[in-house]
Amino acid sequence: MPATVIEVQGLTKHYPPDIKAVDGVDFRIQGGEVFSLLGPNGAGKTTTVEIMEGLRDPTGGEVRVLGASVPRDYDRVRKRVGVLPQNFDPFDRLKVSETVTYWAALFERSATKKEVKAVLDTVGLAHRTDALAMHLSGGEKRRLGIAMVLVGEPELIFLDEPTTGLDPHGRRELWSVIRDLRKEGKTVFLTTHYLDEAEHLSDHVAVMHKGKIIAQGTVDELLEKAGAGREIVLSRPGPGTWEAVQRLGLPGRQENHGITIQVKEVGRLRAVLGDLTALDVDLGEISTRRASLEEVFLQLVGGRLEEGELRA
* Domain edges within the chain: 4-223, 229-290
CA–CA dist 242, 258 (Å, integer): 9
The residue among 274, 275, 239 whose CA lies nearest residue 259 is 239
CA–CA dist 187, 177 (Å, integer): 13
CA–CA dist 119, 181 (Å, integer): 11
**pLDDT at 198 exceeding the cut of 60:** yes
**pLDDT at 308 exceeding the cut of 60:** no
Give the pLDDT confidence score for residue 178 in this predicted structure.
Answer: 93
Give the pLDDT confidence score for residue 312 in this predicted structure.
Answer: 42
Give the pLDDT confidence score for residue 305 in this predicted structure.
Answer: 52
Q: 158: part of which helix (H) or strand (E)? A: strand 156-160
Task: Residues 4-223: name the CATH superfamily.
Answer: P-loop containing nucleotide triphosphate hydrolases (3.40.50.300)
pLDDT digits (tens, 9 = 90+) for 52-62: 999 999 999 99
Q: Where are the beta strands (DSSP E) in 176-306?
A: 187-191, 204-209, 212-217, 230-235, 252-255, 258-263, 285-290
Is the entire prediction scored with pTM above 0.75? yes
pLDDT digits (tens, 9 = 90+) for 97-129: 999 999 988 877 888 899 999 999 989 899 999
| Residue 14: band (very low, low, confident or very high) from pLDDT cuts 50, 70, 90 | very high
**pLDDT at 259 exceeding the cut of 90:** yes
Q: Which residues contact 61 (CB under 8 A, 6 or more apart)?
A: 8, 9, 10, 11, 12, 24, 25
What CATH architecture does domain 229-290 belong to? 2-Layer Sandwich (3.30)
